[in-house]
Amino acid sequence: MSTFIGIDYPTWWYLIVGGLFSGYAILDGFDLGAGAWHLFFNKEESRRIALNAIGPVWDGNEVWLVIGGGALFAGFPVVYATLFSFMYIPFMLFLAALIFRAVSIEFRSKEPMKWWRQMWDVSYSVSSILLAVLLGIVLGNVLQGIAIGPNYSFQGHWLQFLNPYAIMVGLSTLALCMMHGAIYLTMKTEGRLFAKITILLRNSIVFFITSFGLVSLYTLIYLPHLVERLKSHPAFFIFPALAFLSIANIPRLVAKRRFRIAFLFSSLTVSLLLALVALGLYPTLLVSTVNSAYDITIYNGASSNKSLGIMLLFAAIGAPLVLSYTAFVFYTFRGKVKLDETSY
């Protein structure tokens, strides 16, 4: 099997896909969190400021989702096909929510009528909440396992994705996004709106820690396959330790009103939690609940070595470009939000 600096191509693509989805979770995570809080702001000016806080960056952040989905399809087509067969309804709902969220952001400011703006406010907030929950539901099902049978065919019920564990992960994902988004909004607002967001932020921290604790407890008790790799490689326990320390540091930084550093630790938390997911599953991508012989791994679910090698070159060229663009946009639109005639 072909390798690059001692790592085989399927593992490289496992890392690339994981990195792209981590980038999406970090960047669009605070967008979704800000949207989830939107209806908590009662004044028109407050809602406009919160919307314009993500206005310059939200569509660029979704580029990471598009690239991540493309990389998954290119690198692991069997996984892409099997996952979409099982999660067809959640993914269609996800796509619809993406559309409604984008339309809500763009259409809200087109008319001055109160009913018009309230309608799009509800659409924007509900779609943001739905997106975060659906992301968690997909992740929960991937962690728990899917009823995969011979020839990688799905053998379960079409509503099987709505199980208790997946819903718990969905709510935990929503809580993380709301905390992440509230921290971001503290960096973009001032005055009375800033004061209100700090209160919401404290509530979101409690929400996240509680929901994450319940998910962790359930995982340790009922999903032992996710911790077997950590047990076999004790050095990997550094990742849950770092994740715990990162989460614990967020309320400390918020109490000290060091919101920029808190945002960095919130982003680090997202990365570390997804790294734990990757470590728990590797080298498996989709666990079969029917028979372990039907598991889809990075080897039996990958494209050919030649294809992976060619695409690895494109990834090496494209990734720095996307990172540079993202950094440029955030640097350009840094600072507090100031409304003008061009604002949403």
* Kind of pairing between the strands at 3-4 and 296-297: unpaired
pLDDT, residue 1, reads 64
pLDDT, residue 292, reads 85
H or E element, residue 3: strand 3-4
Which one, of 34, 26, 9, 11, lies nearest residue 64 by Cα? 26
How many residues can be counted in the chain? 344
Average pLDDT estimate for 28-55 = 93
Which pair of tokens denotes residue 70? Answer: 């493309």
Axis-axis angle for helices 164-188, 238-255 (nearest 10): 40
Q: Is the pLDDT of residue 139 over 80?
A: yes
Q: Is the pLDDT of residue 340 over 80?
A: no
Give the Cα separation of 23 and 29 in Å (integer).
9
pLDDT, residue 91, reads 92
Mean pLDDT of the chain: 91
Q: Is the pLDDT of residue 177 over 70?
A: yes
Write down the pTM of the prediction.
0.93
> Are the C-beta atoms of 156 and 147 separated by less than 8 Å?
yes
